[in-house]
Homo-oligomer: A and B are copies of this chain.
Amino acid sequence: MRVLVVYNHPYQGSFCHAILSSVTQGLTRGGHQVDLINLDKDGFDPVLREKDLKAFITASKDLNAAYSLLDEQVLDYKSRLEQAEHLVFIFPIWWELMPALTKGFIDKVIFPGIAYDYISSGNGMVSRLPGLKGVTMITTMNTPSIAYRLLFGNAIKKALLMGTFWKIGIKNRHWMNLAMVKFSKESKRLKWLNNLEDKFKNLK
């Protein structure tokens, strides 16, 4: 499988980075092809500007005109997204949600003319990525899972998997949440990482 990993954490020594290593190693061992987008290292600009709004509106009429308004980086991500059969997000939960960089990736790359089109009869959406079969979101947090669910309604899952990727028609959507990371023991962390490696080795 061709897997595109979208990674977001500013610190090289973070647990997210260990997760990235395990995911990549698992995928490679399983014979999958891995392409890595490192939003921090790429210096991705997450701000959606007026020209991007113009592209948003233009996309349904003149695709090339719309593309000409987008960042080079966004067009690069577009071509890599078109190759992907599975998409993996890895990011920390900050204030109940993704960091700004990942939100900007969603705003600017899960975009009409790139990831989906609006259907002409109404307000629905249809995927432009026929090869993309699934999305896995891997998050870390210091909150207990149950508190995140009961108090904050699993906000990230609701937004990204019940919302965004459901809306554009991606059927297989998975969330793996590693909670209470700051308070977890070394043995627990190693178990998480081994499980992740196994899981991605056997990705279907």
Contact = CB atoms under 8 A, between A and B. Distances in A.
A106 B160 CA distance: 19
Contact of A142 (B10, B11, B123): B123
Q: How large is the interface on A (under 10, 10 to 19, 20 to 34, 35 or more residues)?
A: 35 or more
A154 B153 CA distance: 8
Given A10-B53, A95-B107, A106-B95, A100 B47 contact: yes
A96 B164 contact: yes
A119 interface: no
A159 B97 contact: yes
Interface in A94-125: 94-101, 103-104, 106-107, 110, 123
| Total copies of this chain within the assembly | 2
Contacts of A11: 50, 53
Contacts of A103: 95, 97-100, 103
Nearest to A165: B95
A158 interface: yes
A10 B154 CA distance: 29
Contacts of A50: 10-12
Given A48-B10, A99-B48, A107-B94, A162 B151 contact: yes
A54 to B, nearest CB: 9
A47 B98 CA distance: 12
Interface of A: 10-12, 40, 46-50, 52-53, 94-101, 103-104, 106-107, 110, 123, 142, 151-156, 158-160, 162-164
